[in-house]
Amino acid sequence: MREQTGDWEGADHGHTYGLYRLAVMLEEAGDRKAAERLLQQAADHGNTDALYRLAVLREGAGDQEGAERLLRQAADHGNTDALYRLAVLREGAGDQEGAERLLRQAADHSSTGTLYRLAVLREEAGDRKGGETLALKAADQGDISALYRLAVMREEAGDRKGAETLALKAADRGRTDTRDIVKRLWPYGLDPDGTPTPPWQPSASAPHVPPGTA
């Protein structure tokens, strides 16, 4: 209530969530230095969300080493978002093995987005079977879009058959926005049984109609 009325000083009563919320408000108001100070206070009292937010600020300021150190602290205290962010930083630094290790740790905590990221890394490493297995696992946990996005990757790589398989699985599991890839892969659509519709062929007994006379 004090935050909503603008009484920031009153809101700061030592509770770590209050400190965190106040820090976010100060950050949004452009007072980055004060925000970092309050986030550090909250982090010192065990708030892992504050550690994560501090890491994001450090990364934004170009201090990747400091960001990774804070993310590792947050991850060590059970923050799975920190694990995921660390993996992204490791991947960006070219450490694919380290990125995968961190993503697998995060995936153990049922992060479907993490499973998709792992699937992409496996796909890019040439392990298509592993990528597909992870995407299917993500879909089983509710991330149906993982199958669709992997289908697009297969299509872009020239693997039409693989793309078709994944796109069909995505459609079977309820993905409704597969229209674009379906149109590219199956220009004549799909039959009711899910098989691609072949090009229409006129019947041999049908009368010939000259163009322009129909």
Residue 162 makes CB contacts below 8 A (sequence gap 6+) with 128, 132, 151, 154
Q: Are residues 1 and 101 in the same domain?
A: yes
Tokens of residue 23, six digits = 């820090």
Residue 172 lies in a domain: yes
Q: Given CA atoms 178, 122, 137, 84 in this order, what sign does their dihedral have?
A: negative
Domain enclosing residue 179, as ranges: 110-192
Q: Which residue has the tokens 């004549």?
A: 188
Q: Which residue has the tokens 């923050």?
A: 79
Q: Are residues 71 and 19 in the same domain?
A: yes
Cβ proximity of 100 and 134 under 8 Å: no
Residue 122 lies in a domain: yes
Res. 54 pLDDT band, cuts 50 70 90:
very high
* pLDDT tens digits along 118-153: 888 888 888 888 888 888 888 777 777 777 878 888
Structural domain count, the chain? 2
Q: Are residues 7 and 101 in the same domain?
A: yes
Q: Are residues 156 and 65 in the same domain?
A: no
The rounded radius of gyration (Å) of the Cα atoms in the chain is: 25
Q: Are residues 14 and 84 in the same domain?
A: yes
With b meaning 16 or more CB within 10 Å and e meaning fewer, what string describes 1-24? eeeeeeebeebbeeebebbbbbbb
Residue 113 makes CB contacts below 8 A (sequence gap 6+) with 84, 143
Nearest of 17, 134, 58 to residue 72 by alpha carbon: 58
CATH of the domain at 3: 1.25.40.10
Q: Are residues 87 and 48 in the same domain?
A: yes
Res. 187 pLDDT band, cuts 50 70 90:
low
Tokens of residue 211, six digits = 């163009």
Q: Are residues 59 and 155 in the same domain?
A: no
Give CA angle at 189 (158, 196), nearest 5°: 65
* pLDDT tens digits along 4-29: 566 655 555 547 888 888 888 888 89
Q: Are residues 13 and 89 in the same domain?
A: yes
Residue 214 lies in a domain: no
Q: Are residues 93 and 46 in the same domain?
A: yes
Q: Which residue has the tokens 């993500």?
A: 138
Q: Are residues 11 and 93 in the same domain?
A: yes
Give CA angle at 153 (151, 159), nearest 5°: 75
Whether residue 3 has pLDDT greater than 60:
no
* pLDDT tens digits along 90-119: 888 888 888 888 888 877 775 557 888 888
